[in-house]
Amino acid sequence: MRTLVVAPNWIGDAVMAQPLIALIQRADPQGSIDVLAPPATAPVFRAMAEVAGVIVAPNQHGRLQWRQRWRLARALRPHDYERCYVLPNSAKSALVPWLAGIPERIGHHGEARYLLINRRLPAAAAAGRPMVEFYADLAGGEPGATVADPVLVRDAAESRQARQRHRLPLDAPLILLCPGAEFGPAKRWPTRHFAALASLAAVEWPEATIALIGSAKERALATEIAALSGQELRNLCGETTLPDALALIGGAQGVVSNDSGLMHVAAAYRRPLVAVFGSSDPRHTPPRSPQARVEWLHLSCSPCFERTCPLGHTHCLNKLAPIGVFDSLKKAMLETERPSR
């Protein structure tokens, strides 16, 4: 069976969709799965073993762009897809499969998609579900069944090439700090804490290269962290493509990240990871990996899921001490180095 998956628009959501794609492939091992993804998440799906092809959607997130969607639907018709899983909840995201005439269109109820989605999961069934299970429910498995953690395929050659492109030593351990969070400051650990962590890491692992990675929007944050740390940190924010960022994370010896898309990438690559949570909830979108550790104070006001602290103090992040995060990173890295029995 030929299957199309309409991808989410965010990197973390893309990673958390991998178990669904694995379930689809397991149920139909002779079938073929393509993913229709925006440029922002297409590289993530190329790192999934179950995906045969990735079609990059030209339309922009949040805009109808009727003409572009119509052209895309016409281009999809010759592929003869028999079913489509629509992961975003918007009506716009379901337009292309409907226009393309794909017979079975599967998704959550979403934004009044009675015509566009003809196999719908009711909204009540999805309420409060962790995102991995939320997507995996679309595969139609047994309610309450255990869902595997997301897995991305590491490519050692790509990791080496990415290091070479960004002039990072090939023979030194690489520790990556991810200081950004697109959602807002209530998900960003303070720059002074990242700087203190970098100083502790530089003393503990003098042979390591410590780099900051993220989008161009985080470059000022990274510059401040490097200055406060007093260490020779590499500021790669805004300098890497997303494929390069994935390759660097896939080959890193340690990662510390806010609750962000790059956190989920590091978890899916099974990298030693410490995930810092503030206003969000690790019970809903945790880094699902045995190599990941979560640092979360779970104060009485947390999780609030706000972009900025409604109380004005952001204690959930300010009171999360660098030494505790550092100790978690050491343990995560040590456990990964330890040979399995």
Q: What is the tens place of the pLDDT at every residue in 16-62? A: 999 999 999 999 999 999 999 999 999 999 999 999 999 998 755 55
The more confident residue out of 262 and 69 is 262
- 218 with 315, same domain: the answer is yes
> Is there a single domain that holds both residue 94 and residue 61?
yes
Quick check: is 307 in a domain? yes
Split at pLDDT 50, 70, 90, the class of 144 is confident
Complete DSSP assignment for 104-134: EEEEE-TTT-TTT-SEEE-HHHHTT--HHHH
Please give the tally of structural domains in the chain. 2
Q: In CATH, what number is assigned to the domain containing residue 244?
A: 3.40.50.2000
Put simply, whether the predicted model's pTM sits higher than 0.85 gets the answer yes
What average pLDDT does range 114-143 have in this prediction? 83
Domain for residue 19, yes or no?
yes
Q: What is the pLDDT of residue 63?
A: 62
**Is residue 234 within 8 Å of residue 213, measured between CB atoms?**
no
- Mean pLDDT for the chain overall: 92
Residue 67 and residue 183 in one domain: no
What is the DSSP secondary-structure string of 74-100? HHHGGG--SEEEE-S-SHHHHHHHHHT
> Which whole number is the average pLDDT over 220-234?
96
Same domain, 134 and 163: no
Tell me what pLDDT residue 339 has: 40
User: For position 258, what pLDDT does the model report?
Assistant: 96
Give yes or no: residues 320 and 173 share one domain: yes
Q: What is the pLDDT of residue 338?
A: 52
Q: Please, are residues 152 and 48 in contact by the beta-carbon 8 Å criterion?
A: yes
* Mean pLDDT, range 105-123, rounded to an integer: 85
pLDDT at position 49 is 97
My answer on whether 33 and 85 are in the same domain is yes
Q: What is the predicted pLDDT for the residue at 341? A: 35
Under the banding of pLDDT at 50, 70 and 90, the label for residue 151 is: very high
Same domain, 93 and 197: no
149 located within any domain: no
Same domain, 96 and 162: no
Question: Does the residue 248 lie in any domain?
Answer: yes
Instruction: Give the count of beta carbons closer than 10 Å to the beta carbon of residue 106.
Output: 22
CA–chain centroid gap for 137, Å, is: 19
Q: Which two tokens stand for residue 326?
A: 């550092």
Q: Which residues contact 5 (CB under 8 A, 6 or more apart)?
A: 17, 20, 21, 24, 33, 34, 35, 36, 84, 85, 87
Residue 314 inside a domain? The answer is yes
Q: 76, 104, 139 — which closes off a domain?
A: 139
Phi, psi (degrees; rounded to nearest 5) at 66: -55, -45
Listed in sequence order, the residues at least 6 apart from 124 whose beta carbon sits closer than 8 Å to its beta carbon are: none
Q: Are both 8 and 117 inside the same structural domain? A: yes
Q: What is the pLDDT of residues 318-327, one digit of tens each?
A: 999 999 999 9
Q: Which residues pair with 254 in a beta bridge?
A: 175
Whether 125 shows a pLDDT value over 70: the answer reads no
Do 186 and 223 touch, CB atoms closer than 8 A?
Answer: no
Whether 151 maps to a domain, the answer reads: no
End-to-end Cα separation, the chain, in angstroms: 41
Q: How would you class 92 by CB atoms within 10 Å of its CB: exposed for 0-12, middle for 13-18, buried for 19 or more?
A: middle
- Examine residue 146 and state whether it is found in any structural domain, yes or no: no
pLDDT at position 115 is: 86
Confidence band for 124, pLDDT divided at 50, 70 and 90: low
Q: What is the pLDDT of residue 307?
A: 92
Reported confidence tier of residue 123, pLDDT bands at 50, 70, 90: low
Q: Are residues 126 and 242 in the same domain?
A: no
Last residue of a domain, one of 84, 104, 139: 139
Residue 340, pLDDT score: 40
Per the DSSP assignment, residues forming a β-bridge with 257 are 178, 275
User: How many helices (H) and strands (E) in the chain?
Assistant: 14, 12
Please state, for a pLDDT cut of 90, what percent of the chain lies above it. 83
CA gap 310, 58 in Å, rounded:
37
Task: Taking residues 218-235, report their average pLDDT.
Answer: 96
Domain contains 324:
yes
Domain boundary among 139, 164, 192: 139
Phi and psi at residue 111, to the nearest 5°:
-85, 80
pLDDT tens across 231-249, in order?
999 999 999 999 999 999 9
**Residue 304 or 341, more confident:** 304
The b-or-e profile of 141-152 (16+ CB within 10 A means b, else e) is beeeeebebbbb
3-state secondary structure of 159: helix
- The sheet carrying 174-178 orders its strands as 234-235, 209-212, 174-178, 254-258, 273-276, 292-295
**Same structural domain, 18 and 124:** yes
**Confidence check: pLDDT of 13 > 90:** yes
Which domain does 36 fall in, by range? 2-139
Bridge partners of 210, per DSSP, are: 175
Q: Do 176 and 261 share a domain, yes or no?
A: yes
